[in-house]
Amino acid sequence: MTDRISFRLALITSVSLWLACATAPARPPVTEAQTRAFDAAVAKIEGDPRAARAEFEALVRAEPQSALADDAAMRIGMLAFEQGDRDVALEWFTFVLREHADGKFADEARVRAATLEYALGNYEAANAVLARARFSQLTRAQRRAAFRVLVSTAPDGVAALRWLARLRADEIDERRLALVDAEIDKVLRALPSDDFERAADQIGRSVPSARVLLAAAERALDEGDLALARERVDRASRLPLAPDYASHLTTVIERIRLRERQPEDLEVLPSLAEVLRVPAPSTASARGTVGVVLPLSGSYAAFGLESLQGILLAAELFDETGVPGDFEIAPSKSSARYEALPAVDLGPDGFLSEHAAQGDGKRIRLLIRDSAGDPGRAAQAVRDLAADSAVTAIIGPLVKQACEAAADEAEAARIPLVALSSRQEVARDRPHVFRVRTRPDEEVALLVDHAIRSGAQTFAVLYPDDTYGQRLRSLFWEAVEERGGVVVGSESYRPDAVDFAEPIRRLIGYMLLTEEEEEVIEERHEMLRAARRLPTEEAFALREEARALAGPDEQALPPIVDFDALFIPDVYKKVVLIAPQLASHEAVGMRLLGTSDWYHPDLVSIGRDHVRSAVIAATFFQDSRASVVEDFSARYTATFREAPDDFAAQAFDATNLVLVQLASGLATREAVRDGVLNTRAYPGVSGVLSIGVDGNARRRPFLLGIERGRFVEIE
């Protein structure tokens, strides 16, 4: 004991002499009694921490400037923290910074004080405390904690990236490196385009700099600036690049090459917000007669009614008080017979008398025919409408077989037919037939484009084993591979399933485990359960240790979520069952991707936190901030006393494509046909659309995320 005391005294004396030479205030010498008291308090930490804390406090209060005081104060702070007294702990760490600012514990005290300030919501204070930290004096764990606080309190994305680069450079654990890279990608997704260069310059030549430049190149590609994309890729290729991003560099280079070779094929439609920066084409002066063929009775009457209401709204057949004259739209859809126009005699053949569908001033005359979803009736309706020379174009039908029959008749009569079908085949080899409805592959393409732009590289699919699920799985797989991504997992489930444990477990690697692997997994579960009963720091450490466990051959153990995004091509009712089961199996951390079948309020009200990272493509978003959508939704709701759906929206757009031609003075069928064919980036309420040379529309659906329990536009 005497030797140890003598050594401590000698050490303190030498440190004191060094500090004196550095003009630091002289510390009173440590007495033998103080050393014994300090050692006695240290000995009580294990058995009686409260008594130890009291003795440390007595020692510091007796001589706050003692060379032992900062050590004692640090121990008091840590004991207070473990006992749940965060405010008291912060006071003692602050004491060290105030009274022993140049002592050997000062930098550790800064990290601990900053961490507590951050936990208490004092972000500026946390950042200020770490401004004087000497990182070289800290252990790796302490530096990691400091960098974490600095990332979280960074004033902007550039500063966050700078500290993430420092954190990454100091990390040696592969799992933690992957987490840091994921954080870097997240910051890059939100980084304004103008900040990429500044971020790369501030990071210098460290590994994340090349990743920043690659993200900048992708952003330039998305914005159509190939020259800037090339320049950024060239800079990135001359910088150190993490192995995981080396393949990403190749992908971006290939994207540039493809864009250079095939600019027409790879053209990305602009967003609705971008298109609306210039005035939309007007239909105000449109004059003429347009035919309509829809299923207004039979099994598809509800969809026909929604579509008709969109057409009527586009034709502006209403004054400010509602429906003029004897033209009336009732909200009932319950009858098998079409009841939307109760004041009008449909006649025994289901045809609508023509005078009833004329607007005030007869600006646009609509001739409406009921196909009842029947191909024969649809064909007859087109023949009758085409026989009227005043009819310049026809809108509809909806149903596959009826569309085909109507398209044959329209082509024979050389009258433009704008079909409300998603089937590309309806326009094939028919120069007068167009198709405007959004297709599933367009939704999938938008989802994959966004996911890859956001940093995703690996994907998985969990799909119903039916015709629709299999088709969407194939479309998704093709879209991912075309854009340089990789599908690393694909599992199916029965269409009528409510329990998805088995396909989820297959997806994340729980099948075919060895007995040894199962034992390690059980050990991990026990450690995670034990962590729930420990103080915060100890619990964190134990969880880290548990998650770092590997199999007998150092292989990763399930759950192996080796995909950045998971695509589930099913309806929202199934998704709200699947999402919680994914979480219960620890299949977390990836982004969920879904089609317009997810777009329903119940997805967010029932799915809650389990779907908060979801991104979906929607064929219509009635709450869009775009002016054309706001106007459409308000007028539709006021007129028909119900919210519009995607059938109404796409029929509204189809009608306006024709009305734009009529407003431009194109009065003949051939002129209207040519005008529709030349449509480029039209700002429809159901998304931006262009008509291809084959008559098929290319659509850009809405891209939606979820924030605070509601759908929001991402673009």
Tell which of 234, 266, 298 closes a domain. 266
* Statement to judge: residues 428 and 456 lie in one domain: no
State the total domains in the chain.
3
* Statement to judge: residues 363 and 452 lie in one domain: no
CB count in 10 Å sphere of residue 9? 16
Top pLDDT among 337 and 276 is at: 276
* Statement to judge: residues 250 and 377 lie in one domain: no
* Statement to judge: residues 597 and 638 lie in one domain: no
* Tens-place pLDDT, residues 55-97: 888 888 888 888 888 888 889 888 888 888 888 888 898 888 8
Q: Which domain holds residue 595?
A: 441-513+558-618
**Is residue 468 one of the residues assigned to a domain?**
yes
Top pLDDT among 562 and 115 is at: 115
pLDDT at 191 over 70: yes
* Statement to judge: residues 304 and 225 lie in one domain: no
**pLDDT score of 509:** 67
pLDDT grade for 141, boundaries at 50, 70 and 90? confident
Least confident piece of the model among 165-174, 357-366, 639-648:
357-366
**Is residue 531 one of the residues assigned to a domain?**
no
Name which of 373, 216, 395 is nearest 288 in CA terms: 395
Least confident piece of the model among 131-140, 362-371, 556-565:
556-565
Q: What is the mean pLDDT of residues 249-253?
A: 73
Least confident piece of the model among 196-200, 331-335, 452-456, 479-483:
331-335
Q: What is the mean pLDDT of residues 434-438?
A: 88
Name the residue with tokens 């405390």.
129
* Statement to judge: residues 239 and 366 lie in one domain: no
Say if CB 218 and CB 252 are below 8 A apart: yes
**Is residue 36 one of the residues assigned to a domain?**
no
* Tens-place pLDDT, residues 605-620: 888 888 888 999 998 9
Tell which of 592, 618, 644 closes a domain. 618
Say if CB 158 and CB 199 are below 8 A apart: yes
Top pLDDT among 385 and 8 is at: 385
Peptide bond into 375 cis (omega under 30): no
**In the numeric block, which tokens belong to residue 429?**
């080899």
Percentage of the chain with pLDDT > 90? 21
* Statement to judge: residues 321 and 389 lie in one domain: yes
* Statement to judge: residues 340 and 400 lie in one domain: yes
**Is residue 132 one of the residues assigned to a domain?**
no
Name which of 439, 372, 374, 430 is nearest 401 in CA terms: 374
pLDDT grade for 6, boundaries at 50, 70 and 90? very low
Spatial separation of the C-alpha atoms in residues 566 and 572, rounded to whole Å: 15
* Statement to judge: residues 363 and 310 lie in one domain: yes
Helix and strand element counts for the chain (H, E) = 28, 15
CA 675 centroid distance within chain: 37
Spatial separation of the C-alpha atoms in residues 66 and 100, rounded to whole Å: 10
CB count in 10 Å sphere of residue 482? 12
Helix (H) or strand (E) holding 109, with range, is helix 106-119
pLDDT grade for 146, boundaries at 50, 70 and 90? confident
* Statement to judge: residues 194 and 308 lie in one domain: no
**pLDDT score of 184:** 86
Tell which of 618, 637, 669 closes a domain. 618
pTM of the model: 0.55
**In the numeric block, which tokens belong to residue 416?**
């433009």
Tell me which range, 352-361, 375-384, 667-676, is most confidently predicted by mean pLDDT: 375-384
**pLDDT score of 384:** 93
Spatial separation of the C-alpha atoms in residues 586 and 98, rounded to whole Å: 45
**Is residue 98 one of the residues assigned to a domain?**
no
**Is residue 256 one of the residues assigned to a domain?**
yes
pLDDT, averaged across the chain: 80
**pLDDT score of 87:** 87
What sign has the CA pseudo-torsion 150, 153, 154, 160? Answer: positive
pLDDT at 348 over 80: no
Top pLDDT among 265 and 205 is at: 205
**Is residue 311 one of the residues assigned to a domain?**
yes
CA 580 centroid distance within chain: 18
pLDDT grade for 329, boundaries at 50, 70 and 90? very low
**Is residue 59 one of the residues assigned to a domain?**
no
Report strand pairing: 687-691 vs 682-684. antiparallel
* Statement to judge: residues 308 and 203 lie in one domain: no
* Tens-place pLDDT, residues 445-481: 999 999 998 888 889 999 999 999 999 999 999 999 8
**pLDDT score of 651:** 95
Helix (H) or strand (E) holding 627, with range, is helix 627-640
* Statement to judge: residues 473 and 373 lie in one domain: no
Top pLDDT among 697 and 693 is at: 697
Q: What is the CATH number of the domain that holds 406?
A: 3.40.50.2300
pLDDT at 350 over 60: no
Torsion angle, alpha carbons of 524, 529, 531, 532, to 10: 160
Say if CB 369 and CB 381 are below 8 A apart: yes
Least confident piece of the model among 12-21, 54-63, 174-183:
12-21
Top pLDDT among 65 and 536 is at: 65
* Tens-place pLDDT, residues 218-247: 788 767 788 888 888 888 888 887 776 666
151 Cβ neighbours under 8 A, 6+ residues apart: 160, 163, 164, 167, 183
Say if CB 469 and CB 461 are below 8 A apart: no
